[in-house]
Amino acid sequence: MSHFNAHAEQWDDNEKIHMMKILAERTIEALQSRNKLSQKHHIIDFGCGTGLFGLELMDIAKTLTGVDTSEGMLAVFNQKTSGNPDIRSVLIDLENETTDITGDLIVSSMAFHHLADPRKMLGTLVRMLNPGGAVVLVDLDSEDGSFHPDNAGMGVKHFGFTKSTVSDWAQTHNLRLQYSVIHEVKKNNRAYPIFLAVFERNDQQKKRNSK
């Protein structure tokens, strides 16, 4: 957390802005192709940081709640969104605290590789869903640890995730999974794939099929 607090005011560089814009656009395209955007949603952005990803989703949002553990990041988020009654932030550590916040669409971009227990967090987020909702995860495919310049200092706990690992999370929580690679970041003379995973409760699909 100290890394993010220390770098919050300088976080929004051109590279991050460009990447998050692309990831948000690809996320919206993927959700549209799966007929998940017939109406606007109450969106929760888990690990929202300064809002680079979540704020790109406002066209599909009724409301946006940015959730993060970093006071510094949320201070920048709040500066950006000041005066907008449909946007709020919540300072909370969902790995160790509970909340009554709920949403129709819970998104998280490039945050899960900072978590101690991503599998457990997915279950936490699923329990925060309103009926018919979905958790949308955008993160790094498995990599060799070279994506970040300082893994320990930046709080990196996982070098991305394989599709098999993400599928295992879904099975643990009895979720349907739709998985696709949506982007590649090119640096360090190599390409780092970034995936999109959409998780829904299996009972939601059963209800659709019975109609």
Predicted local confidence at residue 204, as pLDDT: 54
Contact 107, 158 (CB under 8 A): no
Predicted local confidence at residue 152, as pLDDT: 94
- Compute the C-alpha angle 40/45/47, nearest 5°: 170
Structure tokens at 198: 């959409």
**From the CA atom positions of the chain, what is the Rg in Å?**
16
Structure tokens at 194: 């970034």
- Compute the C-alpha angle 98/101/105, nearest 5°: 120
Contact 45, 54 (CB under 8 A): yes
Which residues does residue 121 pair with via DSSP β-bridges, in sequence order?
Answer: none
- Least Cα distance to 37 among 108, 104, 128 occurs for 104
pTM for this prediction: 0.92
Q: What burial class does residue 203 get, using C-beta atoms within 10 Å of its C-beta: 0-12 exposed, 13-18 middle, 19+ buried?
A: exposed
Predicted local confidence at residue 209, as pLDDT: 43
Cα distance between the two ends of the chain: 47
Predicted local confidence at residue 169, as pLDDT: 98
State pLDDT tens for residues 113-122: 999 999 999 9
Residue corresponding to tokens 């955007």:
37
Residues in the chain predicted with pLDDT less than 70, given as ranges, are 1-2, 204-211
